Amino acid sequence: MAVQRTISPIDGSIYAERELADEATVAAALQAAAEAQRAWREVALEERARYCLAMVDAFVARRETLAEELTWQMGRPIAVAGGEIDGFAERARTMIALAGEALAPIRLADRPGVTRYITREPLGVSFVVAPWNYPFLTAVNAIVPAIMAGNAVLLRHSAQTPLCAERIQEAFEAAGLPPGVFQHLHLSHAATERLIREGGIQHVAFTGSVAGGGMVERNAAGRFLASGLELGGKDPAYARADVDLDEAVAGIMDGAFFNSGQSCCGIERVYVHRAILAPFVERAVAWVRQLRLGNPTDPATTLGPLVRPAAADFVRRQVEDAVAAGARAWIDPRDYPRSRPGSAYLAPQLLTEVDHRMRVMTEESFGPVVGIMPVDTDEEAIALMNDSDLGLTAAVFTRDIAAGEAIARRLAAGTVFTNRCDYLDPELAWTGVGRSGRGCSLSRLGYETLTRPKSFHLKH
């Protein structure tokens, strides 16, 4: 039996070992899901909601344990790890509350002798492939609405965060959810591809890299699967000349460095009006220097390690290449003894004198680094913000809300903000532009990707 090992970025130790599901286990899970779904689709929406709300209560009851496990699996500082459990509950409860309206039949005006309406039918078995960077939040985006819509769910979590899948299943079991409606499987990459390619599922929800999204599309080709792909980001922020500098710097820098920059919707490039460039950079450098890089189990740590040494070395190379091409690095890595080549611990970095010829301004970093470029006009900022094949979120910081909204309308991104960033409102649709993905999750619209319309034309 093949085994997967979870290496903790904290100290390089093996934190968890799990047997990978073999073909017989996968086949049995698929059969159980299909059988359970046929009964589950007939369960009243109010009853589905009771199971899901009970699951949330059981999940939140273990908040401290879940937060500690999260820290050891992927390195988020314990001081903020509990926020993900709170966010899981918020998103789940929001999607449960939206289900009644989102899944209600569409009633059309009767014609003489004819009754017409459209229902939203469940797809069948949904296969959710979740990542390690926000392992609970990304998973709940798909799991709860899929189940509320009458589907069964199979969850394959990242090998970095296998305990997250197990804890969600335990919460559903504590809620008494009928067997087979939700299951998790520890799967290899090859088994994941085979499951998408060979049948038994009717929907796949994937959150991860652009390359991973390509894998899903290749294996789903010809199967006509419904799919949702939430992929990478190289999200920009623009600080106009009229901003409150302290608020803009704090908001943008937190958006860039939270979770050690390992957020698909984190800020990775910043455009600042030239009139405020010097004071913005001064304040931004001071903000970055107050971060405390260290062991994430220490409550005083505000910047944990990256998920693995290779990820940290990738960002190091981006920074080195940018400096070699003329960028200025404001943070001295020697001030951070833990940060060294081959280590998952990486000093934060802020770069100026960058441009779009540098990888650090065009290629997803997924680490604690951000580049800052001056602009002279809103038009220049818009052009640079849109100069990317990724478009998940974008943010404009300004005192002039009308101007900020006008700029936001012209940005090629799935979500646009003014005066905040790196945030997800579960009542808003979560989607991307270009290579940031396809489909939509959350909000009432998110239910449309988890159901298919069925039209009724009833002649009397």
Residue 391: half-sphere exposure toward Cβ, Cα within 13 Å: 19
Residue among 69, 84, 230, 448 flagged as catalytic: 230
**Rounded alpha-carbon distances, angstroms, from residue 459 to 101, 111, 118, 423:** 27, 9, 15, 49
Burial class (CB in 10 A: 0-12, 13-18, 19+), 143: buried
Query: Does 397 lie in the same domain as 252?
Result: yes
Contact between 366 and 412 (Cβ < 8 Å): no
- pLDDT value at position 1? 75
Query: Does 350 lie in the same domain as 253?
Result: yes
Q: In what order do the strands lie in the sheet with 349-352?
A: 328-329, 349-352, 369-375, 267-273, 235-239, 393-397, 415-418
CATH of residue 188's domain is 3.40.605.10
Query: Does the global pTM surpass 0.85?
Result: yes
Query: Does 180 lie in the same domain as 56?
Result: yes
Query: Does 257 lie in the same domain as 394?
Result: yes
Which one, of 181, 204, 195, 146, lies nearest residue 25 by Cα?
195
pLDDT per residue of the chain (460 residues) written in tens, 0 to 9: 799 999 999 999 999 999 999 999 999 999 999 999 999 999 999 999 999 999 999 999 999 999 999 999 999 999 999 999 999 999 999 999 999 999 999 999 989 999 999 999 999 999 999 999 999 999 999 999 999 999 999 999 999 999 999 999 999 999 999 999 999 999 999 999 999 999 899 999 999 999 999 999 999 999 999 999 999 999 999 999 999 999 999 999 999 999 999 999 999 999 999 999 999 999 999 999 999 999 999 999 999 999 999 999 999 999 999 999 999 999 999 999 999 999 999 999 999 999 999 999 999 999 999 999 999 999 999 999 999 999 999 999 999 999 999 999 999 999 999 999 989 999 999 999 999 999 999 999 999 999 999 999 999 9
Query: Does 239 lie in the same domain as 222?
Result: no
Residue 24 belongs to a domain:
yes
Query: Does 130 lie in the same domain as 27?
Result: yes
Residue 315 belongs to a domain:
yes
**What distance in Å separates the CA atoms of residue 11 and residue 441, rounded to the nearest whole number?**
35
Query: Does 209 lie in the same domain as 245?
Result: no
**What distance in Å separates the CA atoms of residue 83 and residue 76, rounded to the nearest whole number?**
11
Query: Does 360 lie in the same domain as 314?
Result: yes
CATH of residue 298's domain is 3.40.309.10
- pLDDT value at position 377? 98
Residue among 164, 264, 265, 421 flagged as catalytic: 264
Query: Does 112 lie in the same domain as 52?
Result: yes
**What distance in Å separates the CA atoms of residue 362 and residue 356, rounded to the nearest whole number?**
6
**What distance in Å separates the CA atoms of residue 196 and residue 192, rounded to the nearest whole number?**
6
| Residue 35 designated active-site | no
**What distance in Å separates the CA atoms of residue 393 and residue 457, rounded to the nearest whole number?**
41
Query: Does 255 lie in the same domain as 119?
Result: no
DSSP labels for 224-293? T-EEEEE----EEEEE-TTS-HHHHHHHHHHHHHGGGG--TTSEEEEEEEGGGHHHHHHHHHHHHHT--B
Contact between 350 and 330 (Cβ < 8 Å): yes
Residue 431 belongs to a domain:
no
Q: Strand, helix or coil at 425?
A: coil
| Residue 164 designated active-site | no
Residue 143: half-sphere exposure toward Cβ, Cα within 13 Å: 32
Residue 34 belongs to a domain:
yes
Residue 298 belongs to a domain:
yes
Query: Does 227 lie in the same domain as 247?
Result: no
- pLDDT value at position 47? 98
Residue 430 belongs to a domain:
no
The parent domain of residue 30 ranges over 3-231+436-459
Within 8 A by CB and 6+ apart from 190, the residues are: none
Rounded to the nearest 5°, which phi and psi values hold at 352? -125, 180
Which one, of 428, 435, 449, 425, lies nearest residue 390 by Cα?
435
Residue 258 belongs to a domain:
yes
Q: Strand, helix or coil at 457?
A: strand
Query: Does 323 lie in the same domain as 180?
Result: no
Residue 347 belongs to a domain:
yes
Q: How many domains are there within the chain?
A: 2
